[in-house]
Chains A and B, each alone.
Chain A
Amino acid sequence: MSEGIGARVLRKEDKRFITGGGRYTDDIVEPNQRYAAFVRSPHAHAKIKGIDKTAAEKMAGVEAVLDGKQLTADGIGNIICGWLIHSKDGSPMNMGAWSALATEFVRYVGDAVAVVIADSIANARAAAEAVAVDYEVLPCVTRPDAALEKGAPQLHPNAKNNLIFDWELGDGAATDKAISGAAHVVEMDFTNNRLSPNAIEPRSAIATFNAAEDHYTLYTTSQNPHLARLVLSAFYQVAPEHKLRVIAPDVGGGFGSKIYIYPEEIVCLWASMKTNCSVKWTSDRSEAFLTDAHGRDHISTAKIGFDKNHKIVGLKVDTIANLGAYMSLFSSAVPTYLYATLLSGQYDIENIHCNMRTVYTNTAPVDAYRGAGRPEACFVVERIMETAARKLGVDPAELRRKNFVTEFPHQTPVIMCYDAGNFGANLDAALAASDYAGFEKRRDEAAKRGKLRGIGMSSYIEACGIAPSAAVGSLGAGVGLWESAEVRVNPVGTIEILTGSHSHGQGHETTFAQLASERFGVPIDNVQIVHGDTDKVQFGMGTYGSRSGAVGMSAVAGALDKVETKAKKIAAHMLEVDENEIVIEDAEVKVPGTNKTLGWHEVCLNAYMAHNLPEGMEPGLKEGSFYDPANFTFPAGTYICEVEVDPETGHTDIVQFVASDDFGTIINPMIVEGQVHGGIGQGVGQALLEEAIYDEDGQLLTGSYMDYAMPRADDLPSYQVSHESTLCPNNPLGIKGCGEAGAIGTPPAVINAITNAIGNNDLSMPATPSKVWAAIQASGVKQAAE
């Protein structure tokens, strides 16, 4: 059985996870290890008047109590946002100072003020409680619209009115003109609810300073260890890159939250130098809720115009995004280039304009969470399309189809150039799979059982594999967005693939091996994937934005090309034929139509024996590649959700969920389906259950699973997932990416279904039972209860 591209092979990495043999950061113990506990602000906004550490310093097992002044004095730099956005007036974004340990002010509940290093977690925590911080409590603001109001509490001196930037994309005047002349206009308000990412493995770090070598080692829960090392070195000045090894071992989910460099890793590294001990910190869930970067949190108004034939003439969107108390690493890119650029959806729209204001509030920093900007864009577009269809009295599927982009490449008015797709094919497949035509019958049947049944759809598009580097650089990115790979063939023909991508659930150890299997016909068991260690793997960019397939695998393909070329040259020399005659398949190197055949291992061995190589050829069989994509990729698809609402309680049951996606080439359908399932699960979570809520005093009300509703198995259905693929023309494998689609496409499909069921379109996420019940009361749908 083939184990190459398209094969549904089982995962190589599973054995260690199902037997308890995984090695996550918190599983690692260093000799001479101490534990860090952070002193965190209980106030949303306060001035630090003093920190009294004397009691804590005397407590049992305490090695050190360290604060922000010491950190600053040691030259540790502020945490930065790595993507520079300019306001429409040309001024650069107003980035406020963020020290890993606060020195003068705290700006959200959970802001780190000091750290205790002790011999046990219990002693560290007890001493942390004994650190007396004298706070002068200041007024706070948590909602983004309120933060912009006159007289609102000010967070950072350089951000007047808490405004970080006021940015726009598209032609505002042309869009206004198009909409004012439209035959039909639909206007809506949206909130995109704030979410906690909730990877089940909490963040963790263990830092070791080796004084004799003047060298640091950091194990950390990171999606991109090289980027972590670069930022820790270049910006925070913890240590120069060659004196800092960052290892991200098994990582228990990321969803964006483990991209960023947080205060805790910086402090652990610095504290290991201060104490000459290994310093370990593992977040508990309560800390995670307070300090992991949150996602979403947009407030928008949108207006869409249609001509008399129901073709869209313009879309205008005005959004305020809450970035929290400080600018996290990619926080500025999410509501701009990952949001406004996707507002064209799958539709041919001549005029689009988006205005985006980002603001500081006294809440945890907000950054990319699965989908990152694209779910927010998709929610605006797909909710307003569904609403327009209802107002125009036309079938929502047909209104979408009428406006689909059908010719490629298609340049939208918001930067993106869609390279390939067949949106109608995905829509048709989803309509067929969901028996869309038979819905009314099902609705009638449900009504007999006292249930309100509804159907809703969402035709999403996203952009993955952010690129090319030069283009994103011109838009303000502080890094290149390429990927690296190295293919090392051993003398016996087994293969090691070193990749800058990082796997934290995506199954790279299997799918990346499938690429080598496809190329040389070797079993995947003979291919080892090496990742996540800056000492082993050359600089790479890591995993986020559904980029590992489209970008990471493309780099592997480039290295495989070079290995293949060299192997063919060696074989041609051995077989005394022209290299163009050589074919490599099924682990054999041969000349078709002849009996000239070598085992793959024989060629590899000869590469290293070097007894019989072509004149001038270097020994060995090892090649590297850096791949910088020519364009974004554009996964797209249609999701159809069917719900039954209990009118008496407002509880929503998802009774059917159909997804038809176009991800381009699929390396392993089993793994791709798993990615879609997980994305849908998180999308349903956003639509029905999840919201991070701060009260007026800036206290996080949803600080544990007691109040933050995580999707459980009985909240979710089984999903029907299928694919209608067009290949991405811009990368060697034709891959588009699949990691975020579910989280992007799902929320509007769910809300469209519920609003269809209850006959009231005024419903915000999460559509909790109490909210749905209230919407039913407001809509006047007759209650079966009465």
Chain B
Amino acid sequence: MTSISMSVNGKAVSGDVEDRTLLVQFIREDLRLTGTHVGCDTSQCGACVVHVDGKAVKSCTMLAVQASGSEVTTIEGLANGGDLHPLQTAFKENHGLQCGFCTPGMIMSAADMIARYKASGSKLDEKAIREELEGNICRCTGYHNIVRSIEDAAAKMS
């Protein structure tokens, strides 16, 4: 067992974990933040995406010990108190989710995507959004309304 500590959604947390514990297991099982999901075992579906030190990563492909000392944000930490994040609002308003299982990963990926494009000054158009979503699989929506949601949020966040 190794003692780890990190900041999750702005709160200092710590725990003793086996070194093989994945970050997603620590988040779901130790911290009981179950909004981060696991949809595959080959690091492709993106249901587990969280932000580590401000960057989107797959929490199923990172050990909890690797994240020790980092700042982690999960879907539970995205809203500002009672105010939904613009992406959360956009996914609701554009029907960007159906079963909701891939949604936390989609929203966390989209937040990262919008921030990167904003920082670089490049245009986040439909083609770019679709390419940027390579690491997030949705089986319900056919992606149409996910793309609309991200376009909408990106416009509102610019």
Q: So, do A and B actually touch in the complex, CB under 8 Å?
A: yes
Interface set of A (CB-CB < 8 Å, partner B):
10-11, 13-24, 26-27, 29, 122, 198-202, 250-253, 255, 284-286, 504-507, 670-671, 673-674, 677-682, 684, 704-706, 710-714, 716, 718-719, 742
With A200-B47, A253-B99, A713-B133 known as contacts, the answer to whether A680 contacts B142 (CB < 8 A) is: yes
Question: What 1/0 flags go to B59-76 for Cβ under 8 Å of A?
Answer: 000000000000000111
Output the nearest chain B residue to A670 by Cβ-Cβ distance.
B95
Output the nearest chain B residue to A681 by Cβ-Cβ distance.
B142
- The smallest C-beta distance from B43 to any residue of chain A, in angstroms, reads 9
Task: Check A19 against B134 for contact (C-beta < 8 Å).
Answer: no
With A18-B107, A705-B42 known as contacts, the answer to whether A201 contacts B101 (CB < 8 A) is: yes
A-B pairs with beta carbons under 8 Å apart, 23 shown: A13-B100, A14-B92, A16-B100, A19-B78, A19-B79, A20-B34, A23-B34, A200-B138, A202-B39, A250-B100, A284-B38, A285-B39, A285-B45, A673-B95, A674-B145, A681-B143, A684-B142, A705-B137, A710-B137, A711-B142, A712-B134, A713-B133, A716-B142
Chain A residues positioned under 8 Å from B75 (CB to CB)? 18-20
Partner of B140, one of A27, A253, A285, A684: A253
Task: Check B98 against A19 for contact (C-beta < 8 Å).
Answer: no
Output the nearest chain B residue to A27 by Cβ-Cβ distance.
B34
- The smallest C-beta distance from A67 to any residue of chain B, in angstroms, reads 26
- The smallest C-beta distance from B60 to any residue of chain A, in angstroms, reads 10
With A20-B75, A713-B147, A719-B144 known as contacts, the answer to whether A507 contacts B98 (CB < 8 A) is: yes
Question: Is the C-beta of B102 less than 8 angstroms from some C-beta in chain A?
Answer: yes
Task: Check B99 against A713 for contact (C-beta < 8 Å).
Answer: no
Question: Is the C-beta of B40 less than 8 angstroms from some C-beta in chain A?
Answer: yes
Output the nearest chain B residue to A684 by Cβ-Cβ distance.
B142
Chain B residues positioned under 8 Å from A253 (CB to CB)? 98-99, 101, 139-140
Partner of B41, one of A252, A284, A674: A284
- The smallest C-beta distance from B54 to any residue of chain A, in angstroms, reads 19
Question: What 1/0 flags go to B37-57 for Cβ under 8 Å of A?
Answer: 111111011010000000000
With A285-B41, A505-B100, A705-B42 known as contacts, the answer to whether A18 contacts B88 (CB < 8 A) is: yes
Interface set of B (CB-CB < 8 Å, partner A):
18, 20, 28, 32-42, 44-45, 47, 74-76, 78-79, 84, 88, 91-93, 95, 97-104, 107, 126-127, 129-131, 133-134, 136-147
Task: Check A681 against B130 for contact (C-beta < 8 Å).
Answer: no
User: What is the predominant secondary structure among interface residues of chain B facing chain A?
Assistant: loop
Partner of A22, one of B35, B45, B91, B134: B35
Task: Check B142 against A678 for contact (C-beta < 8 Å).
Answer: yes
**Bound-state Cα–Cα, A17 to B103, Å:** 7
A251, A674, A706 — most chain B CB neighbours (10 Å) = A674
With A19-B76, A255-B139 known as contacts, the answer to whether A713 contacts B39 (CB < 8 A) is: no
**Bound-state Cα–Cα, A387 to B145, Å:** 34
9 tightest Cβ-Cβ pairs between the two chains A and B: A20-B35, A681-B142, A252-B101, A17-B100, A505-B99, A505-B98, A20-B75, A27-B34, A677-B142
Chain A residues positioned under 8 Å from B137 (CB to CB)? 200, 705, 710, 712
Partner of B91, one of A13, A18, A670: A18
Chain B residues positioned under 8 Å from A200 (CB to CB)? 37, 39, 45, 47, 99, 101-102, 137-140
**Bound-state Cα–Cα, A673 to B144, Å:** 10
- The smallest C-beta distance from A589 to any residue of chain B, in angstroms, reads 33
**Bound-state Cα–Cα, A27 to B76, Å:** 14
**Bound-state Cα–Cα, A674 to B145, Å:** 7
- The smallest C-beta distance from A706 to any residue of chain B, in angstroms, reads 6
**Bound-state Cα–Cα, A105 to B127, Å:** 51
Known: A16-B100, A252-B101, A710-B139. 14 other contacts (CB 8 A): A10-B95, A15-B92, A24-B37, A24-B101, A122-B18, A198-B139, A199-B101, A200-B137, A285-B40, A671-B95, A674-B145, A682-B142, A704-B40, A713-B133
Task: Check A201 against B37 for contact (C-beta < 8 Å).
Answer: yes
Task: Check B92 against A18 for contact (C-beta < 8 Å).
Answer: yes
Task: Check B142 against A20 for contact (C-beta < 8 Å).
Answer: no
- The smallest C-beta distance from B105 to any residue of chain A, in angstroms, reads 9
**Bound-state Cα–Cα, A23 to B28, Å:** 12
Chain B residues positioned under 8 Å from A22 (CB to CB)? 34-35, 100-101
Chain B residues positioned under 8 Å from A716 (CB to CB)? 130, 142-144
- The smallest C-beta distance from B156 to any residue of chain A, in angstroms, reads 15
- The smallest C-beta distance from B11 to any residue of chain A, in angstroms, reads 15
Chain B residues positioned under 8 Å from A704 (CB to CB)? 40-42
**Bound-state Cα–Cα, A251 to B107, Å:** 19
Task: Check A714 against B134 for contact (C-beta < 8 Å).
Answer: yes
**Bound-state Cα–Cα, A714 to B74, Å:** 25
